Amino acid sequence: MFAWYGHLRANERRAFWSCKAGYALDAMDTQFLSFVIPALIATWGLTKGEAGLIGTVTLLTSALGGWVAGILSDRVGRVRTLQITIVWFAVFTLACAFAQNFTQLLVARGLMGLGFGGEWTAGAVLMGEVIRARDRGKAVGMVQAGWAIGWAVSAGLYALVFSLLPTELAWRALFALGILPAPFVIFIRRLVEEPELHRLAKQRERETHTTHSFMEIFGADMWLTTLRTALLATGAQGGYYAITTWLPTYLKTQQHLSVVGTSGYLAVIIVGSYAGYLCGAWLSDRVGRKLAFITYALASMVIALAYTHVTLDNTLLLILGFPLGFFASGIFSGMGAFMSELFPTRIRGSGQGFCYNFGRAVGAAFPFLIGLVAQKMALGAAIGAFAACAYGVVILAALTLPETRGAKLKY
C-alpha cells in the first residue's frame, strides 16, 4: 500500500504533501461550522433552519468554486490555482470570526465555500498529473484521506478552544484559527512545480496558437463521458449527504441512542473514514477504478439500510460507526485519479471541476428532499430509500464508464 512512495522523486513528494496538507487544512476550516452551530444558536438565537442554511450555502458556493477552479487550473496552472484557493478559504474563515449577525456570517461562509470547493479540484488535477499511472490511484486517494485528518484536527481544536474560553468568544476564536493555512502557500510557491504534462500542453498551445474552452467537455467526443462522470459524483455525494446529515437525528429521535454526537462515536467514524480512504486508494489500483466504486457503493448501501432498519443499542452503534465512516468516505478515494484519466490535459481541470462539483451541488439537495419526504413517511425509510437510490446511480455510472487503471494521461 505504501511502497510506491519510495519511488517518488523530490518534486513529486513535495506535490504530494502540499496537496495532502492543503486538503486537510481545507477540511479543518470547513468542519469548524458543524462544531459551532450550538454556540451560534445560543448566542444569536438562530433557528435550526437558519443554521442549516449556512451549511447549504457553503455547499452550493463550493460547487461554484470547484467549477471556477477547474477552469482556472487549465488557464493559469494547477499550482497557482491551488495557492489561490487555500488563501481564499483561509481568509474568509477568518472573516467568519468577525461576523456580527447572521447575514454577515452567511456571506462570509458562502465566500469561504468558493475556496473550499476549488482546493479539491486544483489538488486532484495536480496529483493526477504528477504521479505515474500505476500508483496514481493510491497517491490521489491518500491525498483524499487528508480530509479525515483535517476533520480530526478540527474536533481537537474545538475541544481545546471551548474548554479555555466562554462560548460567546470560543466560536470566534475557532474561526480565527482558520487563517493558519494561509502561510502554507509560501511553501507551495517556493517548492512545488507545475506538472510537466501541463507545461508541455501549454507550450504546444502557444506554438500552434490554439486555445481551449470549458465548453469542450460538452463536445461531441466528450459529452457522454462528462454526463456519466457527473452522475457518478452525484450518486457518491448524494448518498454521503443523505447519511451524514439525517442519520444522527434519526438515531437520536427514533432509536433514542445517547451515544450519537459524543466524541467517542465521532472518533470511531473519523478513524473509519481514514482507513476507508487508504483502502479505497489501494483497491482502485489493485482491482480497478470501476470495481472499487461498485464495491464501496454496495457496502455503503448495506450500511445505510442496516442503520435504518435494524434495532441498535449504543454498543452496536459504536461498532457500526467504523464501517459507516469506512465506506461512505472511502468511496471518494478513486475519484480524483479516475477523473484525471477520463479527461485530456487541455480540459482536465474543467472536466474534473465540473463533474465533481455538479455532484456536490445536486447532492446538497438530498438532505432537503429527505426532510420533505419524511413528512409523509418514516425518517429512517426516507434515509434508506435516498441512500439506496444514490449508490445505485454510482453503480450504474461505473458500469457504463471505461476502466482507466494504469492509463496514460491524454493530451
Give pLDDT tens digits for 67-91.
999 999 999 999 999 999 999 999 9
Confidence of residue 320 (pLDDT cuts 50, 70, 90): confident
pLDDT for 369 equals 84
Confidence of residue 312 (pLDDT cuts 50, 70, 90): confident
Length of the chain, in residues: 411
Task: Look at residue 227 in the predicted model and tell me its pLDDT.
Answer: 97
Q: What is the pLDDT of residue 278?
A: 94
Please name the amino acid found at residue 178: G
Tell me where in the chain the CATH 1.20.1250.20 domain(s) lie.
Answer: 9-211, 212-404
Give every CB contact of residue 76 below 8 A, 6+ residues apart in sequence. none
- Output the DSSP codes for 28-92: HHHHHHHHHHHHHHHHH---HHHHHHHHHHHHHHHHHHHHHHHHHHHHH-HHHHHHHHHHHHHHH
**Which residues are CB-neighbours of 95 under 8 A, at least 6 positions away?**
108, 111, 112
Question: Lowest-confidence range among 56-65, 178-187, 206-215, 266-275?
Answer: 206-215
Confidence bin at 225 (pLDDT 50/70/90): very high
Rg (CA), the chain: 20
Check if the beta carbon of residue 337 is closer than 8 Å to that of residue 212. Answer: no
CATH superfamily of 212-404: MFS general substrate transporter like domains (1.20.1250.20)
pLDDT for res 311? 82
Segment among 1-5, 92-96, 295-299 with least mean pLDDT: 1-5
The reported pTM is 0.89
Are residues 245 and 369 in contact, defined by beta-carbon separation less than 8 angstroms? no
Rounded mean pLDDT, 19-42: 90
Alpha-carbon gap, residue 275 to 7, rounded angstroms? 23
- Give the Å distances, CA to CA, from 249 to 117, 201, 322: 26, 50, 18
What pLDDT does residue 55 have? Answer: 82
Q: Do 233 and 335 touch, CB atoms closer than 8 A?
A: yes
- 256, burial (CB in 10 Å: exposed 0-12, middle 13-18, buried 19+): exposed
pLDDT at 256 over 90: no
Distance CA 8, CA 13 (A): 6
Q: What is the band of 248 on the pLDDT scale with cuts at 50, 70, 90? A: confident
CATH superfamily for 9-211 is MFS general substrate transporter like domains (1.20.1250.20)
pLDDT tens for 373-385 read 888 888 888 888 9
Q: Are 293 and 232 in contact (CB under 8 A)?
A: yes
Cα(348)–Cα(134) distance, integer angstroms: 19
Indicate the pLDDT class of residue 190, thresholds 50, 70 and 90: confident
Give the pLDDT band of residue 265 (cuts 50, 70, 90): confident
Cβ contact 409:345 at 8 Å? yes
pLDDT bin (cut points 50, 70, 90) of residue 184 is: confident
For the chain, percent of residues with pLDDT exceeding 90: 59
Indicate if the alpha-carbon torsion angle 94, 100, 102, 108 is positive or negative.
Answer: negative
Give the residue with greater pLDDT, 259 vs 193: 193
Q: Choose the most confident range, by mean pLDDT, from 48-62, 261-275, 323-337, 366-380.
A: 323-337
Helices 348-363 and 335-342: crossing angle, nearest 10°?
130
Please compute the mean of the pLDDT values over residues 28-37 and round it to a whole number: 89
Cell numbers at 339, concatenated: 477523473
Beta strand residue intervals within 109-240, DSSP E? none
Which residue, among 225, 222, 251, has the nearest Cα to 379 in the 3D structure?
251
Please tell me the predicted confidence (pLDDT) of residue 310. Answer: 82
